[in-house]
Protein backbone atom coordinates (compact mmCIF):
# COMPACT_ATOMS: atom_id res chain seq x y z
CA UNK A 1 0.00 0.00 0.00
CA UNK A 2 1.31 3.43 -0.88
CA UNK A 3 2.44 5.56 2.05
CA UNK A 4 -0.03 8.35 1.20
CA UNK A 5 -2.90 5.87 0.95
CA UNK A 6 -1.99 4.30 4.29
CA UNK A 7 -1.81 7.73 5.93
CA UNK A 8 -5.21 8.63 4.48
CA UNK A 9 -6.79 5.41 5.80
CA UNK A 10 -5.24 5.80 9.24
CA UNK A 11 -6.22 9.49 9.41
CA UNK A 12 -9.81 8.60 8.55
CA UNK A 13 -9.80 5.92 11.27
CA UNK A 14 -8.53 8.43 13.86
CA UNK A 15 -11.17 10.98 12.85
CA UNK A 16 -13.93 8.36 12.86
CA UNK A 17 -13.03 7.03 16.32
CA UNK A 18 -12.57 10.48 17.88
CA UNK A 19 -15.70 11.86 16.23
CA UNK A 20 -17.75 8.98 17.61
CA UNK A 21 -16.25 9.38 21.08
CA UNK A 22 -16.24 13.18 21.40
CA UNK A 23 -18.52 14.76 18.78
CA UNK A 24 -21.66 12.60 18.77
CA UNK A 25 -20.68 11.38 15.33
CA UNK A 26 -20.13 14.83 13.80
CA UNK A 27 -16.87 14.76 11.87
CA UNK A 28 -14.03 16.49 13.70
CA UNK A 29 -11.64 18.63 11.67
CA UNK A 30 -7.87 18.82 12.02
CA UNK A 31 -8.01 21.69 14.53
CA UNK A 32 -10.50 19.83 16.72
CA UNK A 33 -8.26 16.76 16.79
CA UNK A 34 -5.26 18.94 17.71
CA UNK A 35 -7.32 20.52 20.49
CA UNK A 36 -8.27 17.09 21.88
CA UNK A 37 -4.62 16.05 21.91
CA UNK A 38 -3.80 19.25 23.82
CA UNK A 39 -6.43 18.42 26.43
CA UNK A 40 -5.06 14.88 26.67
CA UNK A 41 -1.49 16.11 27.09
CA UNK A 42 -2.52 18.62 29.76
CA UNK A 43 -4.38 15.87 31.58
CA UNK A 44 -7.14 18.16 32.89
CA UNK A 45 -9.91 16.39 31.03
CA UNK A 46 -13.02 17.53 32.89
CA UNK A 47 -12.77 21.28 33.00
CA UNK A 48 -13.86 24.18 30.85
CA UNK A 49 -11.18 26.20 29.10
CA UNK A 50 -11.12 29.90 28.30
CA UNK A 51 -10.43 31.03 24.75
CA UNK A 52 -6.74 31.81 25.40
CA UNK A 53 -6.33 28.46 27.14
CA UNK A 54 -7.76 26.71 24.08
CA UNK A 55 -5.09 28.36 21.94
CA UNK A 56 -2.46 27.22 24.46
CA UNK A 57 -3.87 23.67 24.36
CA UNK A 58 -3.42 23.60 20.60
CA UNK A 59 0.14 24.88 21.03
CA UNK A 60 0.88 22.09 23.53
CA UNK A 61 -0.49 19.54 21.08
CA UNK A 62 1.53 20.87 18.15
CA UNK A 63 4.72 20.86 20.23
CA UNK A 64 4.05 17.31 21.43
CA UNK A 65 3.16 16.11 17.93
CA UNK A 66 6.23 17.64 16.32
CA UNK A 67 8.65 16.67 19.10
CA UNK A 68 9.52 13.32 17.44
CA UNK A 69 10.39 15.25 14.27
CA UNK A 70 13.03 17.27 16.13
CA UNK A 71 11.25 20.62 16.09
CA UNK A 72 10.49 20.83 19.82
CA UNK A 73 11.77 19.32 23.03
CA UNK A 74 9.90 19.03 26.30
CA UNK A 75 11.20 21.46 28.94
CA UNK A 76 9.09 21.34 32.12
CA UNK A 77 5.60 21.35 33.61
CA UNK A 78 4.68 24.57 35.39
CA UNK A 79 2.89 24.90 38.74
CA UNK A 80 -0.54 24.82 37.04
CA UNK A 81 0.35 21.55 35.31
CA UNK A 82 0.93 23.02 31.82
CA UNK A 83 3.77 21.47 29.82
CA UNK A 84 6.32 23.78 28.20
CA UNK A 85 8.49 23.07 25.20
CA UNK A 86 11.62 24.60 23.69
CA UNK A 87 11.98 25.17 19.96
CA UNK A 88 14.90 23.04 18.77
CA UNK A 89 14.58 23.75 15.09
CA UNK A 90 12.38 26.24 13.26
CA UNK A 91 9.65 24.69 11.18
CA UNK A 92 10.33 24.92 7.45
CA UNK A 93 8.11 27.13 5.33
CA UNK A 94 5.45 24.74 4.14
CA UNK A 95 2.46 25.30 1.92
CA UNK A 96 -0.93 24.84 3.60
CA UNK A 97 -1.37 21.37 2.10
CA UNK A 98 2.10 20.30 3.22
CA UNK A 99 1.40 21.57 6.76
CA UNK A 100 -1.82 19.58 6.82
CA UNK A 101 -0.06 16.38 5.68
CA UNK A 102 2.70 16.84 8.29
CA UNK A 103 0.18 17.35 11.09
CA UNK A 104 -1.98 14.41 9.99
CA UNK A 105 1.10 12.19 9.84
CA UNK A 106 2.18 13.34 13.30
CA UNK A 107 -1.33 12.75 14.68
CA UNK A 108 -1.54 9.28 13.17
CA UNK A 109 1.87 8.44 14.67
CA UNK A 110 0.72 9.81 18.06
CA UNK A 111 -2.33 7.55 18.05
CA UNK A 112 -0.37 4.55 16.76
CA UNK A 113 2.07 4.99 19.64
CA UNK A 114 -0.83 5.29 22.10
CA UNK A 115 -2.35 2.15 20.53
CA UNK A 116 -5.61 4.03 19.86
CA UNK A 117 -5.36 2.72 16.29
CA UNK A 118 -3.38 -0.11 14.76
Distance (Å, rounded) from C-alpha 112 to C-alpha 36? 16
Geometric angle at alpha carbon 35, from 47 and 16, rounded to 5°: 110
Q: How confident is the model at residue 39 (pLDDT cuts 50, 70, 90)?
A: very high
What pLDDT, on the 0 to 100 scale, is given for residue 82?
96
* Span 45-63, pLDDT tens digits: 888 999 999 999 999 999 9
Find how far residue 2's CA is from the centre of its chain: 23
Q: Please tell me the predicted confidence (pLDDT) of residue 74.
A: 98
pTM over 0.85: yes
Render pLDDT for 56-112 as a digit per residue (tens, 0 to 9).
999 999 999 999 999 999 999 999 999 999 999 999 899 989 999 999 999 999 999
CB 73 within 8 A of CB 85: yes
Amino acid sequence: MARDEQLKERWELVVEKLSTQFADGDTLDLDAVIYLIGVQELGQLHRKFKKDEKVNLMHIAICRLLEPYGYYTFDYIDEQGWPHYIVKEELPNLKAGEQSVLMKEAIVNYFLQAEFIK
